[in-house]
Chain A
Amino acid sequence: MALHEYIWLVPLFPALCALVNGLVGARLPRLVVGVSASCAVAASAVMSTLIFFEVVSLPPAQRILADVVICRWLDAGSLQIEVGFLIDPLSILMMLVVTWVGLLVHVYSLSYMRHGPCYNRYFCELNLFVFFMLVLITANNFVMLFFGWEGVGLCSYLLIGFWFEKNSASNAGRKAFVMNRIGDFGFLTGMLIIYFTFGKFGFQEIFSAAPSSLVYGGSAVTAITICLFLGAIGKSAQIPLYTWLPDAMEGPSPVSALIHAATMVTAGVYMIVRCNVLYLMAPVSLLVVAIVGACTALFAATIALTQFDIKRVLAFSTISHLGFMFMACGCGAFTVGVFHLMTHAFFKSLLFLCAGNIMHALNGELDMRRMGGLGSIMPATCIVFIIGTLSLAGIPPFAGFFSKDEILYSVFSSTHSLWPSSGTVLWCIGFITAMLSALYMFRAMFMIFFGKDRTVNKAELCLNERSACVWAPLWLLAAASIAGGWVGAPWFPALNFFSHWLAPVTEQGRLLIASQGSREAVSSIHHSILFEHIFAAGSVLVALAGIGMAWLFYMRRPDLPDRCTRFLGPVYFLMRDRYRVDELYRFMVVHPLELFAKKVLWKVCDDILIDGAVNGVARLALRCGVLARRMQTGLMQHYALAMLAGMTLLIIYFMAFT
């Protein structure tokens, strides 16, 4: 039996560990809880690496393996759902990212959460998260994917609200869950239409049947893909459902690193790449994906520019980068989207873990205005933070450069069938965003690690950089943030392992659709190598421009930001207040709904209308009774009179009608 048939072990390890830690963890020593949780994820990581090596030894055409079906989960009428796993290059790649980043975050948490309460609850929930995430990415059908999809949402809710005594934390958790549920509603609707059209849920069955049974660009496939994309909008925090992610920063920093940067929020991108066949058949949806992604990327970057909370900056940066990934997918460059997903997972989780270090060093301080000059106090954190920042800004040879440049390049060279100039317009947005991301990230870096020491609240001995649990994950992630991009470097064919690796998954759709003779929703123009080089140079230059601006504003002329602020005035405040979208939602949706429920439905409809009618009938019966009782006067004359009247009426009736 081949190794990959034991793929179910990969999610099983963390699930079992979560179960044990959840049930008896409170009675176990902390060390046992933490180490066992990390070991479970390590086992999954090793297992997925072994599967990777098994698959990589196969020729590319055979790398999409047969589904590993465990059992039939449900059987009702024509609805049949099985528990099965899909092993293909995409799911293996995601497994590697999730388990290895997950492992590093677990190890980091061993030290980070050491002093807090509820150690076992933390590791139980974190393990549970890894389990759900692994189910999500290895599922072979939509229902199982949805199981993982909602499960990670649950864990995210629990971990955001981990410090439940803080009202802001529990509010943020709830907000995240409800916002996600709005997306899940879309996902569920998508599943309804899928089941209605195909009668099944298996990925392979649906994708191979789709080109022949759906009309290219037809309403069915468009509806399915738009609904699924709504799910992705919720999960991956895109406009208009992005507002939960900044608030999610109430959770512990390792949680932000793992869930809200590296893995869960990328589930939307994964799902779209998984369904690339369907999206390629729906040009409208593809365009929507691209536009929403591009707008989110720019929008979030402008907000990130004005935030002072270090984790909020990172959160908006995550939203912006997710937008980048969606933009790539919308332009048909699925491989590149996943490539950026991977590199982003490395550098963003690195940055979040650094933020965790900083918070520990400053007694939980998050405001960058009260930092500065930390480079001399925590040099190791400073160096890895710089590595992460360079990677994010897109400076070669760091990982982020390769994926970001690839995205800009593939967006630029793509032509959408519905909007021929889409490539150029979207590229412009991406280009500006690339500059902004270099700017806001270097702004953060300068404010935190350089310049004057503005700290007010330094912890005495919390600089835990030396602990192996802390530096090992940081340096490993830093290494990945440097070298992680080389696998996808486009100019060295020998090194361009990445796109070859994913090709079986992403080309499958194109081939299937081409075999049906449909048009291509997006086509791409091939440019010369020289052009690619010049293009890459442009990307680097714009990033450098962003860095230069940051240096000018925050190192050279620290008075400039204030003057800019005054110059921009209300625009700046709008940006700093995140365009007041939260307030808008509260005012436009939440309050009216509450008011409607309270005043109209409950008070008027229930209490007045329905109960009024019910009680009214009761009262009517009572009145009738009272009336009838009055007739029983007990006086002979009254009865005789009534009898007489009755008889008269009867006589009249018979005389008149017979």
Chain B
Amino acid sequence: MLSALMFIPCAGAFFVLILPRRHDAAIKTTALAAALGAFCVALLLVAGFDAASERMQFVELHPWMGDAGITYYLGLDGLSLPLVVLAAFFTPLCILACWDDVKRHVKEFMVCLLLLETAMLGVFVSLDLFLFYVFWEAMLIPMCLMIGIWGNPDRRVYAAMKFFLYTMVGSVLMLVAMLYLYVLHHAATGVFTFNILQLHETLLPRETQLWLFSAFCLAFAIKVPVFPLHTWLPDAHTEAPTAGSVLLAAVLLKMGAYGFLRLSLPLFPNAAVDYGAMLFAVLGVAGILYGAWVCMVQKDLKRLIAFSSVSHMGFIMLGISAMTITTLQGAVLQMINHGLSTGALFLLAGMLYERRHTRMIADFGGLFKVMPVFGAIFLVVSLSSMGLPGLNGFVGEFLILMGSFARFKILTVIAASGIIFAAAYMLWMFQRVMYGAITDSANEGVRDISRRELWVILPVVICIVWIGLYPKPFLKISEPTVIKLVQHIEHKYRLNVAQEAIKVTGLQFPVDSYFNRPLSTGN
């Protein structure tokens, strides 16, 4: 099932590739069909998913490179399912969104898009570290091509290179750390394996953890992006074509956060709890404020949305750092929320760009009069982005703030002040684009949202409202997995502390009695 999910877009790409170049419509239709097919499979997965279980589901395990312990191992749990659905949800929308937008090399564009989808899905469903890395890197290529070829002519190469290099630096270090972890695991157990779930059980000394944690986290932090490693993001977002920006914001950024949850925290709990938590909480909060403040002075619509991403992802980092059930659930939900609202914002910015061929906020103004339907949708999405209760953004931020307060009091209060600035920059942007009288005559004839565009944006808006009004079913999916994750971190953290204590004192004593309260899981 998961293989089908992953390779339907890939097969679609193949079909697109063999279609003759002149049949634009056929190419687009094929690509859309493939993306929709993958989305249907994703829906089947949701239907078949047992939300009460914390176990990996739809598991596929085949030997691949046997001796090296590399397997083809796929599975889905409450952490990856929402992200898989998100990726499968946004790809068809992107194809539909750039239906008339992309005029050059349509065929190659669609191939890139579909391959990108395969890679994104692959990252989320891989349970083998090697496989994970393959997809992680594979995703880079189509994305980079999309920015570099279909981006804005002025700075697209710079942006693509910056994106590529930034990401590469992180991933190369992660590769080294991965291999080292693989070797350490072998040294401890005598088994060569890249199986993530098995690696989760490895106990490592604190110093080793710290080094490996740093290497993994660098890769993920660049991807998230965590302040101050975010400077690739505004460039990449701004220069990319609409579809690229949307996928970048909605899905690719989530890979970083997903990496933290799937790998960094459970693999290196001691480093994460003792060092990482504070560091990433501070950086997260810095990102929230930094992103929001810089947003306030942006002149470029897409750049503004990009910086708002930095701000939103800061909330997710804060949630991940606090490592409680509430915050982690909030963080997982916030990943979806950010995907929906920022994705929608980029879609809307793309629609504006299609009409006016500019991204400068000052070139717009007074559009509400000529495009009321678009304006209403834009308003809902902007409100969702600034976390208005009743829309999705609020739920995630609220969970994260409520949960983090017990752990980081001052930081959480500072983070909460982000809601002021979010309102300030979002409404300021909205006002300059939509309100006021029409000053530029080019804005007079702008047509309202078309039927196709409505099909693109409405599903997103419906999800935005749905999560905002009734988030319970969404939280239910991730709940068991998150509880298991928290328990795992706690358990492994204590085991490690106990082991180090044994090493230091040379005394043997039972782990349980070392702590005041019993461990949450048996050992």
Binding site for B on A (CB under 8 A): 22, 26, 72-79, 143, 146-147, 150-151, 154, 157, 161, 164-167, 170-171, 173-174, 177-178, 181-182, 184-185, 188-189, 191-193, 195-196, 593-594, 596-598, 601-602, 605-606, 609-611, 614, 618
| Chain A residues with CB under 8 A of B428 | 174
A-B contact pairs, 18 of them (CB 8 A): A75-B479, A77-B329, A161-B435, A165-B369, A167-B437, A170-B431, A174-B431, A178-B427, A181-B419, A185-B419, A191-B402, A597-B294, A597-B297, A609-B228, A610-B228, A610-B229, A610-B231, A614-B232
Which residue of chain B is the closest to A196 with respect to CB atoms? B405
**Are A73 and B471 closer than 8 Å at their CB atoms?**
yes
B420 in the interface (beta carbon within 8 A) = yes
- From B294, B435, B436, contact of A602 by CB (8 A): B294
User: Besides A74-B475, A75-B475, A196-B405, 4 other CB < 8 A contacts?
Assistant: A150-B394, A154-B383, A165-B366, A605-B290
- Cβ-defined contact, B402 with A195, below 8 A: yes
A-B pairs, top 7 by smallest CB distance, nearest first, are A77-B325, A77-B326, A170-B435, A597-B293, A598-B297, A147-B389, A164-B435
Residue of B383, B428, B434, B435 ringed by the most chain A CB atoms within 10 A: B435
| Residues of A with C-beta under 8 A to B424 | 178, 181
| Complex alpha-carbon distance, A170 and B367, angstroms | 13
Pair A618/B165 contact, Cβ less than 8 Å: yes
Q: By the criterion CB–CB under 8 Å, are A76 and B389 in contact?
A: no
Interface presence of B91 (CB below 8 A):
no
Q: How far is the CA of A182 from the CA of B326 in the complex (A)?
A: 25
Which of B69-77, B262-270, B409-417, B496-504 forms part of the interface with chain A?
B409-417
Q: How far is the CA of A165 from the CA of B476 in the complex (A)?
A: 45
B156-200 residues with Cβ-Cβ distance < 8 A to A are: 162, 165-166
- CB pair B390–A76 under 8 Å, yes or no, is no
In the complex, the chain B residue whose C-beta lies closest to that of A121 is B372
When chains A and B are docked, how far (Å) is the Cα of A79 from the Cα of B406? Answer: 12
Residues of chain B having any CB pair with chain A under 8 Å = 162, 165-166, 228-229, 231-232, 234, 290, 293-294, 296-297, 324-326, 329-330, 366, 368-369, 372, 376, 383, 388-390, 394-395, 398-399, 401-403, 405-406, 412-413, 416-417, 419-420, 423-424, 427-428, 431, 434-437, 470-472, 475-476, 479
Given contacts A76-B399, A606-B231, contact A195 B405 (CB under 8 A): yes
Chain B positions within 8 Å of A173 at CB level? 427
Task: Give the complex CA separation of A164 and B232 in angstroms.
Answer: 36
Contact status A192-B388, CB under 8 Å:
no
Report whether A601 and B436 are in contact in the complex, using a CB–CB cutoff of 8 Å.
Answer: no
Q: How far is the CB of A201 from chain B (nearest CB, A)?
A: 9
CB-nearest residue of chain A to B369: A165
Q: How far is the CA of A426 from the CA of B383 in the complex (A)?
A: 41
Are A188 and B329 interface neighbours, CB within 8 A? no
CB distance from B161 to the nearest CB of A (A): 8
Q: Among B229, B406, B417, B427, which residue has its beta carbon within 8 angstroms of that of A185?
A: B417
Which residues of the other chain, B, contact A177 by a CB distance below 8 angstroms? 423, 427
Q: How far is it, in angstroms, between the C-alpha of A74 and the C-alpha of B394 when the chains are bound? A: 12
Inter-subunit contact A74/B472 (CB<8 Å): yes
A538 to B285, CA, bound (A): 56
Contact A165 B436 (CB under 8 A): yes
A167 to chain B, nearest CB (A): 5
Q: How far is the CB of B461 from chain A (nearest CB, A)?
A: 12
A147-B389, A151-B389, A618-B165 known; A594 vs B330 contact (CB < 8 Å): no
In the bound complex, what is the Cα–Cα distance between A195 and B402 (angstroms)? 7
Decide if A196 touches B406 in the complex (CB within 8 Å). yes
Residue pair A73, B368 in contact (C-beta under 8 Å): no
Q: Which residue of B lies closest to A151 (CB)?
A: B390
Complex contact A188–B436 (CB within 8 A): no
The minimal Cβ–Cβ distance linking B167 to chain A, given in whole angstroms, is 12
User: Is there contact, CB below 8 Å, between B475 and A164?
Assistant: no
A611 in contact with B294 (CB, 8 Å): no
Query: Which of A79, A167, A178, A594 contacts B423 (CB under 8 A)?
Result: A178
